[in-house]
Amino acid sequence: MRSAAIIVLALLLASTGVSAQRRAAAGGGGGLWWAVGVAPGWARVTCQICAGSRRTGMSAFAGLGGSTSRTLRIGGELAAWRERDGGVTQTLLSVGAAGYWYPSLRRRFYLRGGAALVMHRASDGTDVVTSSGIGPQLGVGYEHRASPSWLVAPFIHYSVGVFGGDVKFNGGQAAGSATVSFLQAGVSLTRR
């Protein structure tokens, strides 16, 4: 029974892929996409005991998903940020799902929206402070066609974890109601 379920699932996934390729060939969207990007990034944690300053560091992101039409694509994304200052290393990780909506088919301007889990960690080699939260992610970008399959896009993406946020010091609860925010402004490369 289990083998039959796996075979049926594999056939459904294969047929979905074939129909997406047919839609893409017909100009109706569909198909797999993936993207990578690098950017300066700014991270900030605010809570009852947090300093709340916005630090600048290098960031990167990767995304993978599918196009549902010529005006909408959806996918999962992972973004990371790192900054070191005065013996303290800060890292941030954002994991989420986003949709990219193209209001006009003639222009490659897009609006991005979704949800993300945003996690921040600061360590001086002895003590570790971690913060996290779930919340919206937003963004805008403009894609330029570099070749028939590659798109280059300047973008601005923002994620903020506001729900379920907490702050832990060396594993113990230190404060509640943390807000973890992350801003990226850079260039992405997308294959479609």
Predicted confidence at residue 96, as pLDDT, reads 95
Predicted confidence at residue 183, as pLDDT, reads 93
Q: Measured between alpha carbons, how far is 65 from 132 in angstroms, rounded to an integer?
A: 25
What is the pTM for the complete model shown? 0.76
Q: How far, in Å, are 124, 163, 168, 177 from residue 127 at the CA level?
A: 6, 25, 11, 21
Predicted confidence at residue 51, as pLDDT, reads 67
Q: What is the mean pLDDT of each run of 10 residues along the chain (192 residues)?
A: 44 44 46 92 81 79 92 94 88 94 86 94 87 93 92 93 81 76 92 88
Q: Return the CATH architecture of domain 31-191.
A: Beta Barrel (2.40)
Burial (CB count within 10 angstroms: exposed 0-12, middle 13-18, buried 19+), residue 176: exposed
The residues facing 106 across adjacent strands are none
Structure tokens at 93: 């990780």
Q: Measured between alpha carbons, how far is 5 from 103 in angstroms, rounded to an integer?
A: 40
Sequence-separated (6 or more) residues with CB below 8 Å from residue 64: 32, 33, 34, 35, 75, 76, 77
| Domain ranges, ordered by start, for the chain | 1-28, 31-191
